Chains A and B, each alone.
Chain A
Amino acid sequence: MKATAQARAPRRYTGDLVLATATGVAVIAILGLLLLLLFEITRGGIGQISWKFLSTAPSKGGLAGGIWPAIFGTMALVLLMTIAAVPMGVATAIYLHEYAHPDALLTRLVRVAVANLAGVPSIVFGLFGVGFFIETVGTRIDDIFYDGGLLYGKPAIVWAAMTLALLTLPVVIVATEEALKAIPRDHREGSLALGATKWQTIAHVILPQALPGILTGGILAVSRGAGEVAPILFTGAAYYLPFLPAHPTDQFMHLGYHVFVLATQSPDVNAALPNLYATVLVLLVLTFLLNLAAIVLRARIRAKLRH
């Protein structure tokens, strides 16, 4: 008996060591790959970044010049998207957490829909944008208000933004709901006990406290929306435009789309590489800063939740 116990002890120790090492190595490998990606992109792009690059339009088919119109287009796109996605997402989260009965069929259906919306491939969103927003809604608007002219029934920044708003909706809903969960029940009951109505409670007690969470969701949505290319391929992005988008029906240039076209359809990719690296770096820095902000905000909310 004693002998077997002794014989087993070292093997158990080895198992622990092997597992601890293997799991640690996996973490290092993942973070190493992330760092490698950051390092390679930074190394390739940093030399090209200058005020001129950020503030001028591309020339020679993207081989020279800057990326200002793409930066502007990306910002205009995500601004429009946010205006649509955040109110919809916040309202849905409020419904799910404040109004709905958790086990009701409708509540479950909404939850299933949100989860599935998050899993729809981005290219399918692009097809949907074409089939619904452009060819159905847009054409209808043109028929009714513009006498069959072609204004809304074609790729436009507003349709790209609406498509992205649906894609990022689950991000806003999940973040807002998490913030709502963090608000203690007492606050709701206290407000109701003082005679406030349900909506007064939500508007004056709940929402102000949920604001950091809503902000987190908004930032994550912007970050996701700024980086998505597949949904805007056919709904409004253009590779080169001589003007900045000023009207909802204008097309727009976009950082991610710029990278995609320059990398895959440029006649001489090697000549385009410096500008390509720099554009990727700008896109990456933009999304990373947004993500970092969201992560810090969320960490604060979670810390509050724990207390």
Chain B
Amino acid sequence: MWQQATNRRRKHVLEWLTEKVILVTALISILSILLIFYFVGRKAVPILTNEVIQQTANLAEFFRPNGTTPDGHTTFIWQPISERPKYSFIPLLLGTLKATIVAMLVSVPLALLAALYTTEYAPRQVREYIKPAIELLAGVPSVVLGFFALVVMATWLQKLFQFEMRLNAVVSGCALGLAIIPVVYTVAEDALSAVPRALREASFALGASRAQTLLRVILPAALPGIFAGIVLGFGRAVGETMIVVMASGNAAITSWNPADSIRTMSATVAAELAEVVYGSAHYHTLFAIGALLFIITFVINSIGDWVIGRLNTRLQGAKR
């Protein structure tokens, strides 16, 4: 009797313990996000507080013009290794934006049309193969895409568009586009296939054609999901590193011309952190870029996830 009671108590302790261990492990995800923000942010803080570092790198310096062009216009310069270092974020932000815009122009139409094909037109057997194939594209490491862009795509695109600079925003943007096609496709496809069948059948029953049903019924219903896919793809493109560090030319030029070489925020960190002097203004500036990148992608991803979450609740509501 007594033995049984101990066993039972032991069982209770084990139950209690496993539940707590699992709970604590689940908290690691939350903790990680907080730690990432804290430890990357902490290294950016001297920019705001340390007076010695502020003499060369400070918030105002990051965003105001800090040089002149040969023809006398003021301009923004990123030139961390020089006698008088210049730390303007503007060319880096502009470079990131240019590459991302090209990537979106390439990937969004292709991914959305492909998602439409998969849910609306593809025969069942074909559909079973398209999704895994596009997932395979998602599995291509970004360093492989970067290499492909650097060695193969750059040559083709230069022949096609007669670029002066072989590596530029268009080349890296196209490769980035390849990387985010699966992101946009997957989310958009999920949204399209989650549209209740009743809507489609009602539209057909009213005499609408396939194209009309698609454009006026299904697309509007799936629009939030499609929007979320685009937003998440954008976030991924902004943060993607290896492709741009290999195929963008890495020259921080302040211009809107997509045929110019660019230097993105992520590529700047990747290329410069290894050689930077520990604790220097440059070092803390690179962490500031990292923190900025984290905040930008965090906001973008939160918007995307929020939209997906709302869509799911709404569709669940519709099913009930």
A residues lining the B interface (CB < 8 Å): 12-13, 15-16, 18-20, 22-27, 29-31, 33-34, 37, 40-41, 87-88, 91-92, 94-96, 99-100, 109-110, 112-128, 130-132, 136, 166, 169-170, 173, 197-199, 223-224, 226-230, 233-234, 256, 259-260, 263-264, 273, 276, 280, 283-284, 287-288, 290-292, 295, 299
Query: Which residues of chain B in 144-166 are interfacial with respect to chain A, using CB atoms and an 8 Å cutoff?
Result: 144-148, 150-152
Give the residues in chain B near A114, CB-CB below 8 Å. 29
> B118 and A27: CB pair below 8 A?
yes
Residue among B28, B36, B113, B132 making CB contact with A88, cutoff 8 Å: B28
CA distance A136 to B36 in the complex (A): 13
- Say how far B314's CB is from chain A's closest CB, in angstroms: 16
> A284 and B140: CB pair below 8 A?
yes
- Say how far A254's CB is from chain B's closest CB, in angstroms: 10
- Say how far A166's CB is from chain B's closest CB, in angstroms: 5
Residue of B nearest to A40 (CB): B152
- Say how far A93's CB is from chain B's closest CB, in angstroms: 9
List 17 other contacts, CB 8 Å, given A116-B305, A284-B144, A287-B139: A23-B116, A27-B114, A41-B144, A92-B26, A99-B19, A99-B22, A113-B32, A117-B29, A120-B297, A123-B266, A127-B286, A128-B40, A130-B273, A273-B151, A280-B144, A288-B136, A290-B139
Give the residues in chain A near B287, CB-CB below 8 Å. 127, 131
> B211 and A15: CB pair below 8 A?
yes
Give the residues in chain A near B15, CB-CB below 8 Å. 197-199
**A-B CB contact pairs (8 Å), 25 listed:** A19-B210, A23-B120, A26-B111, A29-B110, A30-B111, A37-B145, A92-B29, A112-B302, A113-B33, A115-B305, A117-B33, A121-B238, A123-B266, A124-B290, A127-B269, A130-B273, A132-B36, A132-B39, A169-B28, A169-B29, A169-B32, A198-B15, A228-B141, A287-B144, A299-B128
User: Residue-by-residue, is B209-245 near A (CB-CB < 8 Å gives 1, otherwise 0)?
Assistant: 1111011000000000000000010011011111001
Q: At the interface, yes or no: B94 with Cβ under 8 Å from chain A?
A: no
- Say how far B305's CB is from chain A's closest CB, in angstroms: 5
Residue of A nearest to B239 (CB): A121
> B143 and A259: CB pair below 8 A?
yes
> B242 and A16: CB pair below 8 A?
no
CA distance A197 to B54 in the complex (A): 60
Query: Which residues of chain B in 10-38 are interfacial with respect to chain A, using CB atoms and an 8 Å cutoff?
Result: 11, 14-15, 18-19, 21-23, 25-30, 32-33, 35-36
CA distance A263 to B110 in the complex (A): 29
> B142 and A124: CB pair below 8 A?
no
- Say how far B87's CB is from chain A's closest CB, in angstroms: 17
Q: At the interface, yes or no: B47 with Cβ under 8 Å from chain A?
A: no
- Say how far A160's CB is from chain B's closest CB, in angstroms: 14
Give the residues in chain B near A18, CB-CB below 8 Å. 211
Residue of B nearest to A202 (CB): B18
CA distance A100 to B246 in the complex (A): 44
- Say how far A68's CB is from chain B's closest CB, in angstroms: 19
Q: At the interface, yes or no: B63 with Cβ under 8 Å from chain A?
A: no
- With contacts A124-B239, A125-B36, A291-B135 taken as known, whether A40 is within 8 angstroms of B148 at the C-beta atoms is yes
Give the residues in chain B near A22, CB-CB below 8 Å. 113
- Say how far B204's CB is from chain A's closest CB, in angstroms: 13
- Say how far B14's CB is from chain A's closest CB, in angstroms: 7
CA distance A114 to B27 in the complex (A): 10
CA distance A170 to B28 in the complex (A): 11
CA distance A130 to B36 in the complex (A): 11
Give the residues in chain B near A291, CB-CB below 8 Å. 135-136, 139
- Say how far B22's CB is from chain A's closest CB, in angstroms: 5
The CB with the most chain B CB atoms within 10 A, among A19, A33, A124, A292, is that of: A124
Give the residues in chain B near A118, CB-CB below 8 Å. 301
> B23 and A283: CB pair below 8 A?
no
Give the residues in chain B near A169, CB-CB below 8 Å. 28-29, 32
- Say how far B259's CB is from chain A's closest CB, in angstroms: 21
CA distance A260 to B130 in the complex (A): 30
CA distance A41 to B145 in the complex (A): 10
Q: At the interface, yes or no: B121 with Cβ under 8 Å from chain A?
A: yes
Give the residues in chain B near A20, CB-CB below 8 Å. 117, 121
User: Residue-by-residue, is B104-124 near A (CB-CB < 8 Å gives 1, otherwise 0)?
Assistant: 000001111110111011100
Residue among B110, B211, B236 making CB contact with A30, cutoff 8 Å: B110
> A26 and B114: CB pair below 8 A?
yes
CA distance A132 to B286 in the complex (A): 16
Give the residues in chain A near B273, CB-CB below 8 Å. 126-127, 130, 233-234
The CB with the most chain A CB atoms within 10 A, among B23, B29, B137, is that of: B29
Q: At the interface, yes or no: B170 with Cβ under 8 Å from chain A?
A: no
> B241 and A230: CB pair below 8 A?
yes
Give the residues in chain A near B298, CB-CB below 8 Å. 116, 119-120
Q: At the interface, yes or no: B181 with Cβ under 8 Å from chain A?
A: yes
CA distance A119 to B239 in the complex (A): 8
CA distance A199 to B19 in the complex (A): 8
- With contacts A22-B113, A23-B121 taken as known, whether A117 is within 8 angstroms of B32 at the C-beta atoms is yes
Residue of B nearest to A273 (CB): B151
CA distance A16 to B29 in the complex (A): 46
> B22 and A94: CB pair below 8 A?
yes
CA distance A16 to B204 in the complex (A): 14
> A121 and B29: CB pair below 8 A?
no
Give the residues in chain A near B42, CB-CB below 8 Å. 131
Residue of A nearest to B134 (CB): A30
- Say how far A101's CB is from chain B's closest CB, in angstroms: 12
- Say how far A174's CB is from chain B's closest CB, in angstroms: 12
